[in-house]
Amino acid sequence: EPLFPKKNYECLMSCEFLKYILAVKQGDCPAPEKASGFAAACVESCEADNECSGVKKCCSNGCGHTCQVPKTLYKGVPLKPRKELRFTELQSGQLEIKWSSKFNISIEPVIYVVQRRWNYGIHPSEDDATHWQTVAQTTDERVQLTDIRPSRWYQFRVAGVNVHGTRGFTAPSKHFRSSKDPSAPPAPANLRLANSTTNGDGTVTVAIVWDVPEEADIPVHHYKVFWSWTVSTKSLVPTKKKRRKTTDGAQNSVILDRLQPDCGYTVELQAIAYWGQTRLKGAKASLHFTPARSTGHKEQLGKTRKSAVHIQPSFQRRGPARLLEIGAPFYQDHQLQVKVYWKKTEDPGVDRYHVQWLPEACAHNASTRAETSSGLTQENYIILQDLSFSCKYKVTVQPIRPKGRLKAETVFFTTPPCSALKGKSHRHVSCPGEAAHVPAKVLTKPENLSASFVIQDANITGHFSWKMAKANLYHPMTGFQVTWAEVTTESRQNSLPNSIISQSQILPSDHYVLTVPNLRPSTLYRLEVQVLTAGGEGPATIKTFRTPDLVLPSVH
């Protein structure tokens, strides 16, 4: 009464109306004498409609109240709109959707609720589509939408609603896709230096981070990272050096190793997306900074030159970014070590991280049982020490806060064989299984490397296989090390090789096939296969394969 004096009749009625439609389900209760079975029991099993499942209402049976099916579920409820939705793409870029309804069967106004879902890709797919989202409510039999993006397959559905209820949505419409070509991804925003760490040899490791674009026409496939610096030489003209690498499109950080302290660096970052076989390059964002001799603390040492402006927030975040990154294994203090980095959580309550690591499979079949190692740190990195050679490790990082733990992140990596370090001037390395005598070299190598490719849903999966001839090995064979890398023929400044990191996997000795998903179309890949034994590894068999083209339907 104090809030709604009697003279404010409209406000009072509006409140009562809202309470009514939230508490009372559509339809009328049947006559009490019509109740049968449990519905006729003399019990008070409900007090309101929302306590009953489905369309059932809380109705009187003459001696109590039970949940019963209404007798006139659709009394006064508007009919469904006709299924055929009509789409018109306007010059302004808006999409106009029209539908038609049969005559209204009650005097109350009808509101039409429009929902949509969509999927990325060359082909429409209901399995990969988003959840239904309400995008409009209107009393007209048409609606114009401004946020239609190229490269997406949309479906729509419409429901008519009035004060009595609704008959539900129409069946999903046919798929619609804009005739416009997608735009290149925007320039990465807020490119910045997250932290800087001084290594034992005086070089500096830095982490560069950026903001992931909220709403791009096409998901980012990968980022190109360029960094350059000037080196003083004996000549009058200083030399400018440049390096590059790529990082996965789901990530928003990259680690740059072995930088020189007190030297000015320029980093450029570019997002790359693919539309069919067309590569779309975004604008570059740049950052200037000078690494200082610091350890682990965060410093904002640079500012971006370019940043993207996002007008519309995303209503669906795409897959989560991978938060863990593995540095290159290194041998120091007579032990194999690896540095693991991660992005600090945004939760201010997290004060430390619990890290666990253990070898899941090793090529040398160590007799000792694999033990789990662990450590605690307040930093966003940890150095794993005393690792074994030729092993696949699992690393789990668990953020810890006083009121419990957050979701853990896991990453896998493979350590190199011992012989790889011995070839890099680490003459003092004592490899497992070495004796006073020099064992015979492993001469056996895989033969008949072959490849087959399967194309499914615009993804290429490669099946690489090989054979082994019978041979008398000095040591028993323990497995295969298979390494594959993309071979690029692009011309580059200073003819520097591409620093895309090759991937390696250790397979058991009875596996002669490796399956690699998500290969790029019409691309050369270099495959190396080596025999692993307890006494070392054999020579590599190397072969280059080209993946097939994707035969895509023409886009109208």
Q: What is the pLDDT of residue 151?
A: 80
Q: Where are the domains of the chain?
A: 8-68, 82-177, 189-289, 334-421, 446-546
Instruction: Say whether 17 sits in a helix, a strand or coil.
Output: helix
In this predicted structure, what is the pLDDT of residue 494? 39
* Residue 381: alpha-carbon gap to chain centroid: 22
Residue 470 has a pLDDT of 66
**pLDDT at res. 410:** 87
Mean pLDDT by 10 residues, the chain (556 residues): 57 73 84 86 90 91 92 82 85 88 71 91 85 92 88 91 86 88 86 84 87 79 89 63 87 88 89 84 89 50 34 34 72 81 77 86 64 82 86 88 79 81 55 48 79 85 85 71 76 41 76 87 87 79 87 55
**DSSP letter (8 states) at residue 77:** P
**The CATH number of domain 8-68, selected from 3.10.450, 2.30.30, 1.10.10, 4.10.75:** 4.10.75
Task: Tell me what pLDDT residue 135 has.
Answer: 92
Per-residue model confidence (pLDDT) at position 28: 87
* Residue 302, CA distances (Å) to 292, 299, 362 in order: 12, 9, 43
499 exposed, middle or buried (CB, 10 Å; 0-12, 13-18, 19+)?
exposed
List all residues 6 or more positions away from 127 whose beta carbon is below 8 Å from its beta carbon: none
Spatial contact of 369 and 362, defined as CB atoms under 8 Å apart:
no
> What pLDDT does residue 132 have?
94
> Which CATH superfamily is 189-289 part of?
Immunoglobulins (2.60.40.10)
Tell how strand 165-169 and strand 373-377 pair up.
Answer: unpaired
Give the pLDDT confidence score for residue 479 in this predicted structure.
Answer: 84
Q: Which residue, among 465, 415, 432, 442, has the nearest Cα to 533 in the 3D structure? A: 442
Q: 82-177 falls under which CATH superfamily?
A: Immunoglobulins (2.60.40.10)
What's the rounded Cα separation, in Å, for the pair 233 and 215? Answer: 46
**What's the half-sphere exposure (Cβ side, CA atoms, 13 Å) at 261?**
13
Q: Write down the H helix ranges in 137-196.
A: none
Q: What are phi and psi of 21, to 5 degrees?
A: -70, -20
Q: What is the DSSP letter of 195?
A: E
Helix (H, G, I), strand (E, B) or coil at 493: helix
The CATH number assigned to the domain with range 446-546 reads: 2.60.40.10
Class of domain 334-421: mainly beta
Common-topology check for domains 334-421 and 446-546? yes
Closest CA to 392 of 322, 326, 323, 451: 326
Please state, in angstroms and rounded to a whole number, the distance separating the CA atoms of residues 189 and 437: 59
User: What letter represents residue 327's amino acid?
Assistant: G
